[in-house]
Chain A
């Protein structure tokens, strides 16, 4: 036994066992990855499509649902009262505090991903609920006129998708807004 007494039982062969088990383990883990990753959104799904929408036919108070990235999107032309209601809410009353002005580019047009942040239902556009926004009938979440969560199990506000005003009455949903344009709109 040329080695130290403590390691009397450790042989070169043990090293080979450990090394080959490790190599096999790493190889196995690496070969699992393609089987897992194939489930993630594929390239064609990821090819993020933009959707153009003409705002001009909407009358005040109207809500329409369009499809973007397989998800429903609400476009709501808010009334003056709805805008005021959204702006007047003190932030400390909100579960997911966010000012109305941070959720719109032009106060008249509220554009939201219409996916309830609870478990993914589309809130009912014919039932405005207690806060004048939307009621999600699935499990009773209530949103206000800015699409912020006010009551029920949903944890977050309805998401605001990226969008860009192409003209005064045309939006391109899915496109990042030009910062200058946003600033100009808010005055």
Chain B
């Protein structure tokens, strides 16, 4: 259990006085500074800190951008250009915000894959996992709404395609899309409400992050071994051990972020978004932002509107069932010889889907590094979509029952010490 033996003791009369009225220092001390954290967390466990940091970056840069941005169809594009050219450091703020969104998504994907690999979604962390999915969905919505704001061609047509997902709903679909638009098409009314919601949702995310951390602090962190903390010998206080470790990885992450901002600020964007929105012409090749590409490939894999939309949404919602689909007793894939390989296959499948999502929508053969492969893009995306769902719905439950996991260590501290001394890891007698 994560409940430590630490307890906050106010050091002077003022702190005592405050503690008996608003125990906020106690809260920070017990749930952040002294929070008992497994000794053996590796760098993959620093993405929570990175994500919190990036949310703050997006909120701060967003609030200052909103001081210059004009949410109106006739001025939005120009106001963003004015931010880029005339506003002091406007280019920096905007590139921070637009590349910050991408970095935020890189971090969240690594954070999610970390959870998949180490079984962090398994009992007793199901609610923590579900809250994570809620955050991810809110991030997707926020990123989409924000991308509409510069009102370029990609903004406009991305907004059109995505709001049209709702038109796939039988009977009421049409009315719902018009309700979302406030018009007969994406329009100025749509832009204004998107701005309002884009401003709101990050604060909703911040609220859910609080719940997410709350749900983390009940069972405590998972760890690379996937075994429970057995006592104080398995943990260290969060500060200074993990404040330092998180800080170090945030700094490395910032180097990558800075590379994009200062040397390649439009690498992750799309040139067509520097063309003002034109409601009469769709660009020849519209692609969503990179972080939606695998889902986009799933959407396009079936030539049926409703089924395509349902599959795409299910591709994320299926994660919510994972705690109950995974039948293995062992959390960490370090001790699951078969699941470990299936994990990497799933990652490759997701990358391939992402690659296909960026291709044009004709059914020609796949060309990979100049060589034409004997498989059509449509067929390949169907096979990959099928595998993606099979991984969760069929493979995961069956492998969990059938696979013999390797023996897990007796405790975190024993494993850590054995590693340090170069000896064999003592194994739990079971």
Contacts and interface: CB of A to CB of B under 8 A. Distances in A.
B179 A39 contact: yes
Contacts of A119: 160-162, 164-165, 167, 305
A121 interface: yes
A138 B303 contact: no
Interface in B157-198: 157, 160-165, 167, 178-185, 187, 189, 193
A61 interface: no
B362 interface: yes
Contact of A67 (B163, B279, B285): B279
Interface string A116-127: 001111101000
B64 to A, nearest CB: 28
B284 A40 contact: no
B5 to A, nearest CB: 47
A138 B286 contact: yes
Contacts of B305: 118-119, 153-155
A120 B161 contact: yes
Interface string B279-305: 111101110000000000001101111
Contacts of B165: 119
A65 B280 contact: yes
Given A67-B279, A70-B279, A140 B361 contact: yes
B360 interface: yes
B166 to A, nearest CB: 10
B280 A153 contact: no
A72 B361 CA distance: 22
B430 interface: no
Interface string B411-425: 000000000000000
A67 B185 CA distance: 11
A34 interface: no
Contacts, number: 97
Contacts of B354: none
A45 B308 contact: no
Residue among B282, B284, B285, B362 facing the most chain A CB atoms (10 A cut-off): B282
A65 B284 CA distance: 16
A139 interface: yes
A65 B281 CA distance: 9
Contacts of A89: none
Contact of A45 (B162, B189, B361): B189
A44 to B, nearest CB: 10
Nearest to B308: A153
Contacts of B299: 139
A40 B164 contact: no
A42 to B, nearest CB: 7
Interface in A34-52: 36, 39-42, 45
Given A70-B184, A153-B305, A138 B282 contact: yes
A30 to B, nearest CB: 18
7 contacts: A41-B181, A45-B189, A69-B185, A70-B183, A72-B281, A120-B163, A138-B157
Interface of B: 157, 160-165, 167, 178-185, 187, 189, 193, 279-282, 284-286, 299-300, 302-306, 308, 360-363
Interface of A: 36, 39-42, 45, 65-67, 69-72, 114-115, 118-122, 124, 136-140, 151-155
